[in-house]
Amino acid sequence: MVDALSVGSTALAVPEAATAFVLAGVARLRERRPILVVTPTVRDAERTAHDLTTFLGVGTVELFPAWDTLPFERVSPEVATMGQRLRLLWHLGLTGASGEGPAPEKAPAVVVARVRALLQRLGPVEVAASPVTVTRGAQIDLEHLVSRLV
């Protein structure tokens, strides 16, 4: 497998039962993080993420969810889905106008997403995905907070 990874572009044929095992091996051998695993369905994505977590450990695999609405529907996606997508983008260092964010070594080893999740627009993540930290007894300037999002 090490020889296959040293080539610029490689295709590996793996039986379905061994997919997570092989992907975990590739994730451990590669220095670049994360590896993007694309699946056709949400069920495949969830199963693959679960199986990879078994091999790689908790916190090393992230699932990038798709919006739970269709583009022509006049409803907003679930807040939890929006939060999951923005949190993952922040962890990958793809957000934050000032470049603030977690260290690159804190990025997950593997991101699993179904095709539909990758084809959907991200929105203005440069600012919106930067987390707001609130501590006990702190005062929040709501005008400043809202101005960050507009």
Condensed to tens digits (0 to 9), the pLDDT of residues 35-84 reads 999 999 999 999 999 999 999 999 899 999 988 777 677 777 777 887 78
Q: Give the integer Cα–Cα distance in Å for 119 and 135.
A: 36
Take residue 126 and report the two structure tokens written for it: 């440069």
What pTM was estimated for this model as a whole? Answer: 0.71
Q: What is the pLDDT of residue 107?
A: 78
108 closest CA partner among 41, 1, 30: 30
Q: Give the integer Cα–Cα distance in Å for 122 and 119.
A: 9
CB-based contacts of 13, cutoff 8 Å, min separation 6: none
What is the amino acid identity at position 71?
P
Percent of the chain at pLDDT > 90 equals 23
Q: What is the pLDDT of residue 115?
A: 92
30 forms beta bridges with: none
